[in-house]
Chain A
């Protein structure tokens, strides 16, 4: 029995195409893992996005030139069956480029901070000879110089703008990645973020309605039967009215520790 793809292997491009397809499946799986890890949200994205990388390899193999959608088709309209995907992909590419540009400026600004810190440190050392300083003293002096130079830069308007731009671009990338995930979820018949959000909104609306109804029926001012002064050692926590309580027998769920990333 021949290996899968052996029959279409007759075409010179088919093996590469098949490999790219298989690699993309792996990359998409990897994408899900990365999306689940929120800590990577602030990191510069790898370009092109990981799910496009296998196709880059395939196209490189064809010898048609480099795979850079933004350069290959600058300003080209998104057309055809996959136009929505093209739009998202192009937006991701643009955002990635913007991020890299801003990040380079940020790195440049940080380099300038370090340079300023070195100048100040040199002045300190010129004033007090090296022989009189222990390594710990030198290190502390360096930190003081570095923080001083950083403080000055960090309070500047340009620094605030740059930091905000980096943050805003990262946020936009996260939004676009979310769109891709939504599309994939729909294809795989998995619950999408949009569906879950819709359910959350419904639960919230129901909770609010129930609370309003409860406060309307108990309109008398809040007065307890009798006062207490000291806490009782063991006590079941009271649970607020909650429509979800009807579905769950637990009166007071134990506070759960968030899983560390």
Chain B
């Protein structure tokens, strides 16, 4: 049986070992140099103001499916989907023979502060969809929306249902007022008009909010866990890539952000069928294309309860929900999910081709 002094001696010994690990980890990190992200080959095929539409170079024989346009969120950078060659959701889609386009919202600045939410959905997104349709001489395409981009995709699918052959939503909030949604709870009392009165909302401010959702894990534990990566250069590089992505957050255009928070978070207009966009009433019942709704069971940003109600509100008779045992980010870069999710997407699309 160990005595208290024995325990203390063990603790001190472990602490000394941890200090040594820390030194080693720091040394490895200092020697890493520049971190590369977004490594798949792509070409900008359309640009307008800050936005860019990219088309990825094929990596396999075409599966003969409709082109797939990814609409990413505005609050983060889209290279999360193509973080590195062995952790790339996009690369897996390309290997599956899909023709992939990506809408990158860029880094909005002061010139964009008066662009409303409808300008992004019924303006930029619409013109990107129409570009792809024109490029392929087709009437409809597959739209894949991620997180906030999923909400935007839903809106677009309701505004222009004839252009959407299939809709895939990933970790997409639909019901913004569920009890588990901490972000929504916090957003209810914020005077977002005042917040955006002096311009765009900084990415740093949003990061502060995200970190506040789980402050002990996200600002302390994850760095302490670095010690376990001692001697594992690959793991440390992966960590640094993710770290870069997390804090590479664009500022949010004031008007669009205000409208998004007010209309969606505070008033929950989308699910209540009270949203009007670009002067047109937006009804989820207008979404008639087949829908695949992918959500993550451990998502702390968009809890499953925010995504699950989608099926009950759209007009589509072909609706499938896919729950993945992962977190909001792990869905794309997690050990198993980074292969299984793209595979599931391909199978789902093939069945509806």
Contacts and interface: CB of A to CB of B under 8 A. Distances in A.
Interface in A150-196: 150, 154-155, 160-161, 163-165, 167-168, 171-172, 174-175, 177-178, 193, 196
Interface string B43-55: 1111111101101
Contacts of B58: 230-231
Contacts of A256: 107
B29 interface: no
B134 A160 contact: no
B81 to A, nearest CB: 17
B11 interface: yes
A38 interface: yes
Interface size class of A (residues with CB under 8 A): 35 or more
Contacts of A147: 214, 216-217
B15 A135 contact: yes
Given A155-B182, A201-B114, A228 B136 contact: yes
A167 B197 contact: no
B267 interface: no
Interface in B110-160: 110-111, 113-115, 127, 130-131, 133-138
Contacts, number: 162
A11 interface: no
Given A193-B199, A255-B52, 4 more contacts: A161-B189, A164-B188, A227-B138, A231-B43
Interface of B: 2, 4, 6-7, 10-11, 14-15, 18, 43-50, 52-53, 55-58, 62, 99, 104, 106-107, 110-111, 113-115, 127, 130-131, 133-138, 182, 185-186, 188-191, 194-195, 197-199, 202, 204-205, 208, 212-217, 220-221, 224, 228, 250-251
28 contacts: A39-B202, A42-B204, A42-B208, A134-B10, A143-B216, A143-B220, A147-B216, A147-B217, A150-B215, A155-B182, A160-B188, A160-B189, A163-B189, A165-B189, A168-B191, A168-B194, A171-B191, A172-B194, A175-B198, A224-B137, A227-B136, A228-B136, A229-B136, A231-B55, A231-B56, A238-B46, A255-B107, A258-B107
